[in-house]
Amino acid sequence: MSGNGNAAATAEENSPKMRVIRVGTRKSQLARIQTDSVVATLKASYPGLQFEIRDKILDTALSKIGEKSLFTKELEHALEKNEVDLVVHSLKDLPTVLPPGFTIGAICKRENPHDAVVFHPKFVGKTLETLPEKSVVGTSSLRRAAQLQRKFPHLEFRSIRGNLNTRLRKLDEQQEFSAIILATAGLQRMGWHNRVGQILHPEECMYAVGQGALGVEVRAKDQDILDLVGVLHDPETLLRCIAERAFLRHLEGGCSVPVAVHTAMKDGQLYLTGGVWSLDGSDSIQETMQATIHVPAQHEDGPEDDPQLVGITARNIPRGPQLAAQNLGISLANLLLSKGAKNILDVARQLNDAH
């Protein structure tokens, strides 16, 4: 039996018959699909446990103010009050410093982390390059707008809000946007592969820290649940995301400034490219660094008791590669800071706050 099987068997033997694990999620189609996929994996590992999904509905008046962070707070509140045992998030929505008492207990295998272009029906078959002059492209992300304005100066980038369904409806039914930019992973999870008109490569647009991966947030001291969700960790995704999150944390970046990354694991080397941009994309610094990191098998060295790294707890993955990934992120951030990244980010933050 594999290490994963042993963990599942042990967790089951120690659990009361048909223990119910309560899983928190947002009441949106994509959030539910993501949560269902995580629960399906857990059910396969723990057939003796029951899983109950609880939707949190956010007060609609509140949802206008930073919806994602408010949902995160609502779900953390449910965790804190012991109303749920774990919460499934898009990892890119989770800050690199979590509130005390919480940790990311698992990072699932990453789907395609790149951004995708969805075109208005009359522009299907085009690319961003071949769209007519002054075409309006919708994105709610400063990171995407900054990079794409620099790359495609003939286009105009405008903010578009709402969940995936809302944005697609705005694109199709209104004549304002020629195209919108969305995360490929979200479109794929929703089964909307046919709407992907173009996938943006790193040279065109690097992605957000953690994009394409799901994170499972739990109470930091809930050892039972930490052990239970540990089987979900995908070692390569974990190490790439530790490097990315360490880079962002050390830069003191966040959603209010354009910071982007690209990571790859090849032949025992972890490659991390990171960049910062001014809001209009005219100013930027990008660099790449690499470190020798061998992707470990789960349970290779037995449990680890060390505290979390960049908000993540992975006791069933050896500590050495995790620290090496974190150090790579910090080193790259220091390199960018030495080249003037702080000034670019400070100006971007001030301009964004002024809006």
Q: Provide the annotated active-site residues.
A: 93
- Do residues 169 and 87 lie in contact, with contact meaning Cβ atoms separated by under 8 Å? no
Three-state SS for 92?
helix
Q: How far is CA 137 from the centre of its chain?
A: 23
Cβ count within 10 A of residue 288: 13
> Is the Cα dihedral 325, 326, 331, 332 positive or negative?
positive
Place of tokens 């100006």: 347
Neighbouring-strand partners of residue 24: 54, 87
**Phi, psi (5° rounding) for residue 255?**
-65, -20
- Where would I find the beta strands (DSSP E) of 120-178? 136-138, 156-158
Alpha-carbon separation of residue 213 from 132, 133, 171, 196 (angstroms): 34, 35, 26, 19
